[in-house]
Amino acid sequence: MFNFCFQNPTKIIFGKEQIATLTNNIPKNSKVLLLYGAGSIKRNGVYQQVSQALSDFSWLEFSGIEPNPSFETLMQAADLVRREKIDFLLAVGGGSVIDGAKFIAAAAVFEGDAWQILAEGAKVTSAIPLGCVLTLPATGSESNGNSVVTRYETQQKLGFSSPLVYPQFAILDPSVTFSLPTKQVANGVVDAFVHVIEQYLTYPVNAAVQDRFAEGLLQTLIEQGPLALTEPENYDVRANIMWAATMALNGLIGQGVPQDWATHMIGHELTACYGLDHAQTLAIILPALLQQQREQKRAKLLQYGRRVWQLSYSNEEQVIDEAIALTKAFFQQMGVATQLSDYKLGAAAIAAVEAKLVQHNMLKLGEHGDITPQIAKQILQQAL
Ligand code: NZQ
Ligand code: ZN
């Protein structure tokens, strides 16, 4: 196991009717900016619960944060934060709203052009404090320091990370996920699943705790994900998915182990160029990437096949083939298509992604740094 230093400062408040606890978790006398998306929170009762809990605070709201939040919109919110001297941000939504809040938190107090935070990795030295109410289990953004922002005019989807933008608290009430469209339930399960894989399916470093935690999360998602589609009103299923998605990317299982993230980086380019949902890009890329990297990932692919999918063949190639096939079938069972052609994309898209990876200096992806734009192209060709 590699050395590590782990601190996750986000307080998790989990369960039914917990949105009311906002009142006690936002610092007293804060001037709050409520951030949200296109308005799903007004249709499912979350907005009403939040505004009730904010009744003793001075607060304003900013809506319209898009799925794959846009730099332009977030900069408008950052201006509002400065003008109104806001001192606490409350994000209510999925990963896009929470990621957006993190960028606003950093951009509002950044000296210079805030695009540099994303494009040049400019260091974030201060940020407005934030908290969140999660409405879509998927990204883990509710308890990590990551944010991904898209600049539509240049088709660039870029991220930043900072310990200063961890939410101070995250309220996770699984009942607010009942109103999710089926497609978003499926996307969330696939995204969380791939987050675990990115930190687990690399090469062994004798990290027994991380491996067993990761395998438990994968099996939970494999078992509970389809149930969320067939029993959409089952609270316990929603609760298990919500907690699994948070645990998948709150830093815990990634400590002391090599990490991959190539599927995500290639996927971000597909979203930036063609607007595919984040999880759709992962469902296309991951099975093809595992196939392409089967020698480098051999030991972990065997472990994954045997422990997660309970495969008992003595022939190793058969275990690996079947593990990859079952992964792909799981995404399809969730209703997320796994081929580029399912999204009407072909050779032109592959060339565009390869060029974008070069433009963004994504030249050595993966846990060994051996996934070049050329290899990414081969991976995408296998996913046609
Ligand atoms: O805009 P609203 O009205 O809120 O509707 C949203 C949106 O249309 C809707 N929704 C959310 N909760 C709902 C609901 N509809 C009904 N009922 C509810 N309870 O769902 C749609 C999608 O929301 P979005 O926030 O975009 O989805 P998700 O949570 O999947 O976030 C995706 C974004 O997160 C980034 C992705 O790249 C993408 O930009 N990621 C962030 C990560 C992180 N911070 O660590 C890691 C991930 O790998 C990912 O890159
Ligand atoms: Zn993801």
8 A C-beta contact, residue 204 and residue 210: no
Structural domain includes residue 156: yes
> Which pLDDT value is given to residue 340?
98
Distance of CA 4 to the CA centre of its chain: 22
Q: Please, are residues 192 and 245 in contact by the beta-carbon 8 Å criterion?
A: yes
* 280 beta partners: none
Q: Is 272 in the pocket of ligand 1 (CB under 6 A)?
A: no
135, 160, 125, 108 alpha-carbon torsion, rounded to 10°: -60
| The pair of three-digit structure tokens given for residue 28, joined into one six-digit string | 């007293």
Evaluate: CB of 145 within 6 angstroms of ligand 1. no
Location of structure tokens 């998927």: 138
H-only helix segments in 275-383: 278-292, 298-303, 316-333, 347-359, 373-382
Nearest-ligand number for the alpha carbon of 183: 1
Q: How far apart are CA 199 and CA 254, in angstroms?
A: 5
Kindly report the protein residue whose alpha carbon is nearest to atom 42 of ligand 1.
139
Q: Are residue 143 and residue 198 in the same domain, yes or no?
A: no
236 belongs to a structural domain: yes
pLDDT < 70 regions, the chain: none
Distance 139 CA to ligand 1 centre (A): 8
Q: What domain count does the chain have?
A: 2
pLDDT in tens, 48-69: 999 999 999 999 999 999 999 9
Cα end-to-end span (Å), the chain: 37
| Ligand 1 contact via 37 beta carbon (within 6 Å) | yes
Residue 191 and residue 128 share a domain: no
Q: Tell me if 6 is assigned to some domain.
A: no
Q: Which tokens go with 261?
A: 């993230």
243 and 97 assigned to the same domain: no
**Does residue 97 sit within a domain?**
yes
Whether residue 4 is contained in a domain is answered as: no
Alpha-carbon distances, residue 198 vs 114, 192, 202 (angstroms): 29, 10, 7
Q: In this structure, are 287 and 170 located in the same domain?
A: no
Atom index in ligand 1 nearest the CA of residue 147 equals 44
| CATH number reported for the structural domain that contains residue 37 in this entry | 3.40.50.1970
Domain with 113 in it: 11-176
Using the mean position of ligand 1's atoms as its centre, give its distance from the Cα of residue 312 in Å.
Answer: 38
Gap between the Cα atoms of 210 and 98, Å rounded:
26
Own/partner long-range contacts of 289-296 (Cβ < 8 Å, ≥24 apart) = 289/262, 289/263, 289/371, 289/379, 290/201, 290/323, 290/324, 290/327, 291/324, 291/382, 292/375, 292/378, 292/379, 292/382, 293/366, 293/371, 294/320, 294/324, 296/203, 296/366, 296/367, 296/368, 296/370
Both 149 and 288 in a single domain? no
Q: Is there a domain that residue 102 lies in?
A: yes
**Distance set, CA 234 to CA 132, 186, 238 (Å):** 24, 15, 7
CA neighbor of 135 nearest in space, from 18, 296, 254, 292 = 18
Ligand 1 binding pocket mutation candidate from 44, 62, 184 (most atoms within 8 A of CB): 184
Alpha-carbon distance of 166 to 133, in angstroms, equals: 13
Q: Return the pLDDT at 168.
A: 98
Same domain, residue pair 296 and 163: no
How far is ligand 2, taken at its centre, from the CA of residue 282, in Å?
8
Output the domain CATH number for residue 301. Answer: 1.20.1090.10
Residue identified by tokens 């846009």 is 70
- List beta partners, residue 133: 92, 171
**Residue-wise pLDDT tens digits, 331-351:** 999 999 999 999 999 999 999
Last residue of a domain, one of 116, 151, 176: 176
Q: Is the Cα torsion angle 195, 199, 203, 208 positive or negative in sign?
A: negative
Ligand 1: does its nearest atom lie under 6 Å from the Cβ of 68?
yes
The domain boundary residue, chosen from 176, 201, 232 = 176
Give SS3 for 278.
Answer: helix
DSSP SS3 for 348: helix
Centre a 10 Å sphere on the Cβ of residue 6 and count the other Cβ atoms it contains: 9
- In contact, 305 and 325? CB cutoff 8 Å: no
Q: 316 and 273 in one domain?
A: yes
Q: Which of 152, 176, 200 is the last residue of a domain?
A: 176
C-beta 140 within 6 A of ligand 1: yes
Q: Examine the domain organization and report whether 259 and 345 are in the same domain.
A: yes
Q: How many angstroms separate the alpha carbon of residue 198 from the centre of ligand 2?
A: 9
Among all chains, which residue has been given the structure tokens 């989807």?
A: 157
Atom of ligand 1 nearest to the CA of 136: 12
SS3 14: strand
* Residue 157 burial by Cβ neighbours in a 10 Å radius (0-12, 13-18, 19+): buried
Is residue 101 a contact partner of residue 78, using CB atoms and an 8 Å limit?
no
Residues 18 and 157 placed together within one structural domain of the fold: yes
Question: Which residues face 90 on adjacent strands?
Answer: 34, 131
The answer to whether residue 2 sits within a structural domain is no
Is the domain of 114 the same as that of 191? no
Mark whether 290 and 323 lie in a shared domain: yes
40 and 160: one domain?
A: yes
Backbone angles phi, psi at 333, to 5 degrees: -60, -35
**5 inside domain:** no
